[in-house]
Structure 1
Amino acid sequence: MVSKPMVVVLAGPPCSGKTTAGAWLASTLPGIHLHVDAILTAILPGSDRCLQDRRLAYEVAARAIKPVLDRGLSAALDCTYSRKEYREQVVSNVPDDAPLVVIEFLVSVAVALDRFENRQAHHAIDLTPAIVADKVRTYPYGAGTATVNSELSTNEIRQQILRSLAVVLDRGKWVDGGV
């Protein structure tokens, strides 16, 4: 599959398929799935998902990268990663010699809202239909190594992800592409 451990960021708006893909990818690489929403639930179970708490969860996920790589495993990070500060945390915690791939998950508002309505238990308890729709409409796409249409079949999505693992990320462009 991959010749050495790598870091793969699965980014995109809510309900775009990142978490499902992250769990699959971590088992495929092999690696560890660092799901930022789940990390937030684990470290602050009573959180109201305020910005301060979300910032902490993103920081914990970013700081977990090096220990994961040091164990010979890949890290699959999963969350929106729309803000520059979160992107910078990732880049500054990935060694220069470690491959970093960012896969952006594309989804339409209609499909995201349908997924949100039918979603089973999920850690992102602060979401509402209005927030989901807004985040889908305003997501800053374009600076990752690949964009995956998450409305394709599971097999097609997985094939696109695997093909994207060889693409080199422009780390500065990705950070600057955040909001």
Structure 2
Amino acid sequence: MNRRLIVLCGRSFSGKSRTAAWLADALPGVVVSLDEINAERGLWGGDGIPLEEWAHTNEIARHRVGDALDSGHTVIVDDTSSPRFLRDGWRELATSSRSSLALVYVDTPIPVIMERLAANRATPTRGDLTDEVLADHLGSFEPPAADEDAIRVQPNTPRATVLEKINRRLVRDIGPDD
């Protein structure tokens, strides 16, 4: 069975959730969203969430991803995936579940993020972030390093190109015993 895990990485308002949704339709796959898990738990990241609560949310997500992979689903993880140790955790899960992995870095320039945030504040389509939480997030975000071999997606990257790169990565990642 070819188990496939796609981990999204990017700043708030970069377009990760939108990317996750169309990937789920195109591949097809299931989305595990850490924001949705937080909402189920009565937490809202826009006001800041204590680290121990994020750790618990991440553990819930890991169980859901593992169960979905075990059921043969392609899984898309919708999260900022910063800092690196979180991405390394997804790599470990992919290895232990014998899944192929693609890390997709949704690399949206900060001015575009700020435009999206302003538009959302004028006409809300999703939850807001306090300026303090956003500043902390933007300042502490760790983009993938070169050795992480991330697929970089920018706002103008055609979807067909993104799918092609993901599929090539997932095929390349399949070992001889898979």
Instruction: Output the TM-score relative to the length of structure 1.
Output: 0.76
1:148 corresponds in structure 2 to: 153
Number of residue pairs matched by the alignment: 163
2:52 is matched with 52
Secondary structure, counterpart of 1:13 in structure 2? coil
Unaligned runs of 5+ in 1: 171-179
Deviation for aligned residue 1:18: 0.5
What amino acid maps onto 1:140 in structure 2?
A: P
Cα shift at 1:121 = 4.2
Q: Do 2:11 and 2:137's aligned partners in 1 also have CA atoms closer than 8 Å?
A: no
Say yes or no: does 1:131 pair with 2:134.
Answer: yes
Deviates more, 1:133-142 or 1:69-78: 133-142
Q: Are 1:145 and 1:167, in contact at CA under 8 Å, matched by a contact in 2?
A: no
Aligned to 1:122: 126
Give SS of 1:64's match: helix
Q: Which runs of 4+ in 1 moved over 4 A?
A: 45-48
The separation in 1 between residues aligned to 2:23 and 2:60, in whole angstroms, is 20
Residue 169 of structure 2 corresponds to which residue in structure 1?
Answer: 167
Identity of aligned residues (%): 20
Match of 2:69 in 1: 69
Change in CA separation of 1:137 and 1:114 when aligned onto 2, cut-off 3 Å: farther
| Alignment partner, residue 177 of structure 1 | none
Deviation of 1:126 (Å): 4.4
Deviation at 1:99, TM superposition (A): 0.7
Summarize deviations over 1:4-44 as a string: whole Å, max 9, x none.
33100111111111000101111222211111111111123
Please state how far the C-alpha of 1:128 moved relative to its aligned partner.
2.4
Give me the whole-angstrom Cα distance separating, in 2, the residues matched to 1:117 and 1:26. 28
In 2 relative to 1, CA 9–50 (structure 1 residues): closer, same or farther, beyond 3 Å? same
What CA distance in whole angstroms lies between the structure 2 residues aligned with 1:26 and 1:136? 30
Q: CA deviation at 1:136?
A: 7.1
**Could you tell me which amino acid in structure 2 is paired with residue 113 of structure 1?**
M
* Pairwise CA RMSD: 2.8
Q: 1:88 to 1:20 in 2, by over 3 A?
A: same
Say which structure is richer in helix.
2
Change (3 A) 1:81 1:44: same
The amino acid across from 1:99 in the alignment is S
Report the counterpart of residue 79 of structure 2 in structure 1.
79
Shift of 1:101: 0.4
Q: Which has the higher contact order (CA 8 A, sep 6+)?
A: 2
- Determine the C-alpha separation between the residues in 1 that align with 2:149 and 2:105: 6
Gaps of 5+ in 2: 174-178
Q: Whose radius of gyration is greater, 1 or 2?
A: 2
Separation (CA, whole Å) in 2 of partners of 1:46 and 1:26: 24
**TM-score, length of structure 2 as denominator length:** 0.77
Compared CA separation, residues 53 and 134, structure 1 to 2 (3 A): closer
